Chains A and B, each alone.
Chain A
Amino acid sequence: MRKYIIRRVLYAIPTLLGISVIVFAISRLAPGDPVRLYTFGATNITEEDIAALRHFYGLDQPLPIQYVTWLMNMLRGDFGKSLQYNQPAFALLMERLPATLQLAVLALVLQVGIGVPLGVIAALNRGGWVDNAVRFFGVVGHAIPQFWIGLLLIVLFAVNLHWLPSQGLLTIGKDVWDIPDRLKHILLPAFVLALAGVANYSRYLRTETLDVIAQDYVRTARAKGLRERTVVYVHALRNALIPVVTALGGILAALVSGALIVEQVFTWPGVGQLTYAAVRGKDYPLIMAGVMFASTMLVISYLLRDLAYARVDPRIKV
């Protein structure tokens, strides 16, 4: 097991290096001189000032050197300085991380908590109306644009019914630990973020459960005279659950991407919203840091997924 963990961690290194090359290359491919952009609007700037600035930011050096410097700085936790805030980008991102994590974790819990039972129930009622409804939802949940359903829910629950707030982490002026207030705020964004994953899990679990209950060992369990409930929940479901961990890959990627859109719709102060604001403000160091940060979060979650998979499925060679 330890060997497997070490090998898996080592595999993450070329991935992270590849990501950094892609991010760096794209940001340097941009047409236009970054210094001109940073000093946009300054009219009394001379050519010497620009040369000095280029030197200050290391832009007069060859690209490979610039890349290595940037990479080394990141390894030391220095992701560059935001132009808008004039603060270290890493600190800004870390400040926003808890909000994004709350949202993503709650969404993940909702996905598993709703999607898994839906899939199992559908499989056990194969061909019935419940099954058809779940299967249809499995497609619908994917096809709904997140930002649109978010807007509709805001119109319905916040604007018309006044049941739930439409934006932010908590009501301004309330205590940070006012849990009911925070729950009210997180409910809509977490639900919207969870939707596609619920659809995904219900589809997955339906197929898997159908596969598993056709297996010989399930027939054996029935033949032994076990109660149907024991057969399903003890013998079949445990094996049907293994792919839940596999499915996490795509679901986690969708969560990180989806979080950005949901945060934007619900004005949720997370990593995605910060990165989006940086894009709008042409704050390149912060954009690069945000993309690297989000990618690293994803790589770490993939790593955790693989480790969980090795634990759940003993057939994995460790």
Chain B
Amino acid sequence: MATVARADVVPATVASRRASAGLWTNAWYSLRRDRLTMGAAALLLLLAASAIAAPLFAQYVFHTSFEEQDLLHIYAKPTFDPPAYMLGADEIGRSQVVRLLYGGQVSLFIGFVAALMNLTLGVGLGLLAGYMRGAVDDLITWFITTLNSIPIIFLLLLITSLFQPGALTLTLIIGVLFWTGVTNFVRGQTFALREREFITAARTIGAATPRILMRHILPNVLPLIFVLAAIDIGSIILAESALSYLGLGVLPPTPSWGNMLSNAQSYATRAPWLVVAPGAMIFLTVLCLYLIGDGLRDALDPRLKAS
């Protein structure tokens, strides 16, 4: 791979690059030219970095915490004096910008960790169903059909009504529920791959099933898993924010973008900025993730590249 990457320096035609360079080199080559995707990635990194640095911002820039109330400044209009109110204050005078930064921590954490769980479960079950076929496949397919037939918000309502939710519980719940899409995709790919000659060849020379799955099938499925991951994280953040908005997800005083909108209806007239900002953060984050997913797909899908 390393020698191939050097080819970037040498002026070469696209055609010769394609013949020599690996999948990732090619993908990176076309991604770099995709300004929309690169912009989305940059913005997402910026959002994530500022969320991670939330305590620093709170202490050194805004000189307040996410729970510090100031009853003299309830519903303060957005102002740069002090900078803590640059996005206004909420119904008990807390700085909205600081709460948004901390809310980002919660939303992004849930999104990434739950997606990691989904992908692990989804890829594992998908490989199993697609390669084993027969009864194993039937069982997994039946379970997916069943799970997909319960409207996801209703299922989440049922579960969260029984357990006291919090950021960690919610991550676990979403992590074990949202894997069906990944499984379906991996299962389909595995189904097609296992009939190919190189798999037969591997089997002929006596490779064991786990080795075939991990060394021969997984690397072929993996690139598009990154596409699914981006979209998965986006959907998880949307679901989490909806649940938190309904008061069944992340509970106050921990700020999350969703629960900051819980009471929005009651102060929408008085402080519309409190309605706009948290939703805009969810929207921007999810939009970036979806755009990255689309961009990755265009860069990685050899079928699209051929056209």
Binding site for B on A (CB under 8 A): 14-16, 18-19, 22-23, 26-27, 29-31, 139-140, 142-149, 151-152, 154-155, 159, 253, 256-258, 260-261, 264-265, 272, 275-276, 279-280, 282, 284, 287-288, 290-291, 294-295, 298-299, 302
Contact = CB atoms under 8 A, between A and B. Distances in A.
B7 interface: no
Contacts of A139: 287, 290-291, 294
Contacts of A282: 161
Q: Which residue, B145, B163, B269, B275, has most C-beta atoms of chain A within 10 A? A: B145
A19 B283 contact: no
A209 to B, nearest CB: 15
5 contacts: A139-B294, A144-B283, A146-B242, A151-B261, A287-B158
A152 B279 contact: yes
A159 B245 CA distance: 21
Nearest to B181: A250
Contacts of A31: 162-163
Interface in B207-238: 234, 238
Contacts of B282: 145, 148
Nearest to A20: B146
B111 to A, nearest CB: 13
B110 to A, nearest CB: 15
A26 B161 CA distance: 10
In the complex, which range does the number of interface residues on chain B fall in?
35 or more
Interface of B: 142-143, 145-155, 157-163, 234, 238, 241-242, 245-248, 258, 261, 264-265, 268-269, 272, 275-276, 278-279, 282-283, 286-287, 289-291, 294
A19 B149 contact: yes
Nearest to B282: A145
Contact of B242 (A15, A23, A261): A261
B151 A253 contact: yes
B279 A23 contact: no
B242 A291 contact: no
A236 B159 CA distance: 46
A154 B268 contact: yes
A147 B262 CA distance: 10
B287 A18 contact: no
Contacts of A287: 157-158, 161
B56 to A, nearest CB: 28
Contact of B151 (A30, A276, A294): A294
B213 to A, nearest CB: 27
Contacts of B294: 139
Chain A's interface: helix, strand, loop or mixed, by majority?
Answer: helix
Given A154-B268, A253-B152, A294-B151, A143 B283 contact: yes
A30 B162 contact: yes
A152 B282 CA distance: 14
Given A151-B264, A151-B275, A260 B148 contact: no
Contacts of A260: 151, 153-154, 157
A197 B274 CA distance: 28
B154 A294 contact: yes
B298 to A, nearest CB: 11
A147 B261 contact: yes
Given A14-B142, A276-B246, A30 B163 contact: yes
Nearest to A288: B158
A291 B142 contact: no
A279 B142 contact: no
Nearest to A279: B161
B162 A291 contact: no
Given A18-B142, A143-B290, A147-B261, A155 B154 contact: no
Contacts of A22: 146-147, 150, 155
B290 A291 contact: no
A300 B242 CA distance: 26
B306 to A, nearest CB: 13
Nearest to A203: B294
B159 A26 contact: yes
Contacts of A145: 238, 241-242, 245, 258, 279, 282-283, 286
Nearest to A135: B294
Contacts of B264: 151
Nearest to B158: A291
Nearest to B237: A145
A298 B279 contact: no
B183 to A, nearest CB: 15
Nearest to B257: A145
Which of A148, A159, A264 has the most CB atoms of chain B within a 10 A radius of its CB? A148
B115 to A, nearest CB: 16
Given A145-B283, A261-B153, A275-B154, A18 B143 contact: yes
Interface centre among A27, A145, A275, A287 (most CB of B within 10 A): A145
